[in-house]
Amino acid sequence: MPFAVRIVNYQHSRMLNICDSNLVGKILKESELTLNINRSYFAERVVEENEAEDLLRKSSVINMVGKETIALSLKIGIGSSKGVKKIDGIPFLLVFKF
């Protein structure tokens, strides 16, 4: 499964926005929450699993959305299933490494 990614380098930190590529362009809504998975925030480019894994390991702040993305992150020990939340049935997770 391909992953959509955008990397932002800021003050010696790498922020990674990553999602399942099939979610790009969708707007998730639940109650008063809205999550716009737009191309400019999440999809600078598309990568395969091995590069996504490398980016997850090397990033300090990670904003991730989607079942496959979350599964990959948890598989390699980044984040916790306790932190996973859902909006419109789609999981998302924020990770800060310090």
Distance (Å, whole) CA 4 – CA 97: 21
pLDDT attached to residue 98: 77
Alpha-helical segments (H) within 2-66: 39-42, 49-58
The structural domains of the chain, ordered by start, are 3-96 (3.30.1860.10)
Distance (Å, whole) CA 44 – CA 97: 23
Question: Could you read off the pLDDT tens digit of each residue along the chain, which spans 98 residues?
Answer: 899 999 999 888 999 999 999 999 999 999 999 999 999 999 999 999 999 999 999 999 999 999 999 999 999 999 999 999 999 999 999 999 97
Ordered DSSP codes for 58-72: H-SEEEEESHHHHHH
pLDDT attached to residue 1: 81
pLDDT attached to residue 43: 95
Q: Is 7 exposed, middle or buried (0-12, 13-18, 19+ CB in 10 A)?
A: middle
**Do residues 27 and 72 lie in contact, with contact meaning Cβ atoms separated by under 8 Å?**
no
